């Protein structure tokens, strides 16, 4: 592949170098304070357009917020890739963007997002230390393999194109929901304990394993498996060198040729169908997909593995074209999000809130015990729409909130060598 590699320095502009060398031009992108008196009156005419992936942006939440706040919030679904393109190319069509943290490393420097003043977010100080300080619950430093949200959460001020090293009073996003991902398995069809990522590449499951076909996440799951199997240790799974990418893809191509993989899924529903139909018995999976399979009465285990979880998080960003009253309304909305109603709604889809205290307060004791504390269900467990998730006695895979979120080994990411990675990934898929 040597001849390909040269292609990567194409424009002579590597992404990270732009990020790091971002000039400190202080452009006043944020809307300045509007006259406070006017706003109660005109508030009802305001409509905020929120765009984000379907697992984060629910019309139900927007409807509740609109009722509570007195102005209108409209929602539109868009996956992160499509949303990034919109934020950059059609910023005026979005007011509030639900972006995954890794996406920030791509889109923040476009200056299309507003630097959020953390002092205006009431519950900012109640946010878990993982986001605010990059620390685990026990005070240890969180894993920085991949893009730890903390690394891209702060900027020095409005107009900054690079991220601040530590905590400041300006944030890129307000973290909302997050989770720890692991492998989904069909315990009924496997019949033994699965406790390592290495099982994904175990020939025992040849023709029954699946990987997700989103290059930057799929390769991380593969890397977890390769490292767990003991092939080699990565310097940083979330930011591989070219050699590491090549070795990983070579291993994957060999596995594919040997018939390891039944499918590569690209959307949530595909992963649900693969698992529910029994085509696949071990695969990368997301939490709501697991709940969706369970709703069909099929047992899926989403068990913790000894190497830890792959974590991800999403937050709400405000677009920099917001100003005056609309900007104030957007801040109101962000504050409302952290007040608990949204957190309790999301908890029932399996996701955690960045301010767990308010979310827990809004859940019933039984729900709180099941979703957050990892205790056996004392009553039937339902999703936010009333679908049955499990009956009395069910225990959440991986246990309590602290156990799960405290055990994240790597984060969803964008690599410096992304171009090379995507190209090699395409080779893997077409091999």
Q: Provide the binding-site residues for other proteins, judged by CB under 8 A.
A: 3-4, 7, 10-11, 13-15, 18, 81, 84-85, 88, 106-107, 109-110, 207, 210, 213-215, 256, 261-266, 270, 273-274, 277-279, 418-419, 422-423, 425-427, 429-431
CB of residue 265 to other proteins, shortest distance in Å: 6
Which of 260, 389 has the CB closer to other proteins?
260
Q: Are 140 and 148 in contact (CB under 8 A)?
A: no
CB of residue 93 to other proteins, shortest distance in Å: 17
Which of 64, 241 has the CB closer to other proteins?
241
Which of 109, 368 has the CB closer to other proteins?
109
Which of 3, 192 has the CB closer to other proteins?
3
CA-to-CA distance for 238 and 142, rounded, in angstroms?
14
Which of 180, 285 has the CB closer to other proteins?
285
CA-to-CA distance for 206 and 273, rounded, in angstroms?
19
3-class state of residue 77 by DSSP: strand
CA-to-CA distance for 286 and 75, rounded, in angstroms?
22
Q: Where are the alpha helices (DSSP H) in 170-286?
A: 187-190, 215-229, 242-257, 268-277
CB of residue 366 to other proteins, shortest distance in Å: 36
Which of 180, 200 has the CB closer to other proteins?
200
The vertex-261 CA angle with 256 and 262, nearest 5°, equals 135
CA-to-CA distance for 54 and 98, rounded, in angstroms?
10
CB of residue 309 to other proteins, shortest distance in Å: 24
CB of residue 84 to other proteins, shortest distance in Å: 6
Which of 95, 418 has the CB closer to other proteins?
418
| Residue appearing with tokens 């900007």 | 327
| Residue appearing with tokens 């989904």 | 184
Residue 318 region by backbone torsions, left for phi larger than 0, else alpha for psi between -120 and 50, else beta: beta
CB of residue 92 to other proteins, shortest distance in Å: 18
CA-to-CA distance for 109 and 221, rounded, in angstroms?
28
CA-to-CA distance for 160 and 28, rounded, in angstroms?
10
CA-to-CA distance for 283 and 296, rounded, in angstroms?
18
Which of 318, 279, 312, 285 lies closest to 301 in space, CA to CA?
285
CB of residue 241 to other proteins, shortest distance in Å: 18
């Amino acid at each position: 592949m040597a001849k390909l590699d040269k292609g990567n320095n194409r424009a002579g502009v590597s992404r990270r170098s732009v990020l790091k060398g971002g000039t400190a031009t202080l452009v006043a992108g944020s809307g300045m304070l509007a006259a406070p008196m006017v706003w109660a009156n005109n508030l009802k005419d305001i409509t905020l357009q929120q765009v984000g992936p379907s697992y984060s942006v629910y019309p139900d939440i927007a409807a509740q917020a609109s009722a509570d706040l007195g102005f209108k919030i409209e929602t539109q679904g868009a996956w992160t890739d499509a949303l990034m393109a919109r934020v950059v190319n059609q910023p005026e069509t979005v007011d509030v963007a639900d972006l995954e943290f890794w996406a920030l490393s791509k889109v923040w420097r476009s200056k299309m997002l507003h630097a959020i003043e953390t002092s205006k977010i009431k519950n900012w100080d109640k946010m878990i230390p993982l986001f605010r300080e990059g620390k685990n619950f026990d005070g240890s430093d969180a894993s920085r393999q991949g893009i730890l949200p903390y690394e891209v959460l702060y900027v020095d001020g409005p107009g900054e194109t690079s991220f601040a090293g530590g905590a400041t009073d300006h944030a890129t996003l307000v973290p909302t929901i997050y989770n720890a991902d692991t492998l989904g398995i069909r315990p009924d069809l496997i019949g033994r304990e699965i406790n390592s990522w290495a099982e994904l590449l175990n020939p025992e499951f040849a023709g029954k394993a699946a990987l997700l076909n989103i290059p930057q996440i799929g390769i991380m799951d593969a890397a977890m498996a390769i490292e767990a199997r003991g092939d080699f240790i990565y310097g940083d799974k979330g930011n591989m060198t070219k050699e590491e990418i090549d070795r990983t893809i070579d291993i994957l191509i060999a596995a594919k040729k040997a018939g390891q993989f039944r499918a590569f899924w690209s959307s949530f529903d595909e992963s649900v169908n693969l698992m529910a139909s029994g085509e696949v018995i071990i695969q990368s999976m997301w939490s709501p997909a697991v709940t969706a399979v369970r709703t069909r009465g099929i047992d899926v285990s989403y068990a913790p593995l000894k190497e830890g979880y792959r974590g991800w998080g999403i937050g709400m960003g405000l677009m920099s074209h917001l100003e005056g009253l609309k900007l104030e309304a957007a801040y109101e909305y962000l504050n409302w999000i952290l007040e608990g109603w949204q957190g309790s709604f999301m908890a029932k889809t399996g996701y955690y809130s960045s301010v767990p205290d308010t979310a827990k307060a809004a859940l019933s004791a039984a729900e709180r015990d099941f979703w957050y504390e990892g205790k056996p269900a004392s009553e039937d467990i339902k999703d936010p729409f009333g679908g049955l998730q499990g009956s009395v006695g069910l225990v959440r895979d991986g246990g309590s909130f602290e156990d799960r979120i405290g055990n994240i080994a790597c984060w969803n990411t964008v690599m410096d060598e992304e171009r090379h990675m995507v190209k090699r990934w395409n080779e893997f898929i077409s091999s």
